[in-house]
Amino acid sequence: MVLTILAIIAGVSVPVYQRMVMHAKETTLKQDLKLMRDQIDKYVADRDESPGSLDDMVRLGYMREVPVDPITDSNATWEVVMESEPIMPNGRVGIKEVFSGADGTGVDGKPYKEW
C-alpha cells in the first residue's frame, strides 16, 4: 500500500519538476538574450561599429564571458545575424542580432531560434 502511494506521488511530481526545470532554463535564456542584445547596443554606441563576434565583446569587456545557452548547454551554439550592409561609416559589417541555436519550441509555442 505504501509503495503504491509513493509510486503515485512520484508519477505526479516528476512531470511537475521537469516543467519547473524547463521554465527556469527558458527564463535564463530570455535574460541572456536580453543581456547580449543590450551589450551589442552599448558596443555600437561606444565604438560606432557593430561587434564582429561575441568574442570581441568579451575581449573588450562588454561581457565577462559568452554565456552558456541553457537549452543546449553550450556557449558555442548562439546564432548571430550579421548586418547585410554596414550601418556605421567605417564600412565594417558586424553583429545585428543574436538568437539561441537550440532546436525545439518553448512552452509558449515559439521556436527558440525566434526568441
CA distance 103 to 51: 25
CA dihedral 25, 30, 31, 32 (to 10 degrees): 90
Give the DSSP H or E segment for 99.
strand 95-99
| The model's pTM | 0.83
CA distance 75 to 46: 25
pLDDT per residue as tens digits for the range 20-69: 999 999 999 999 999 999 999 999 999 888 999 999 999 999 999 999 99
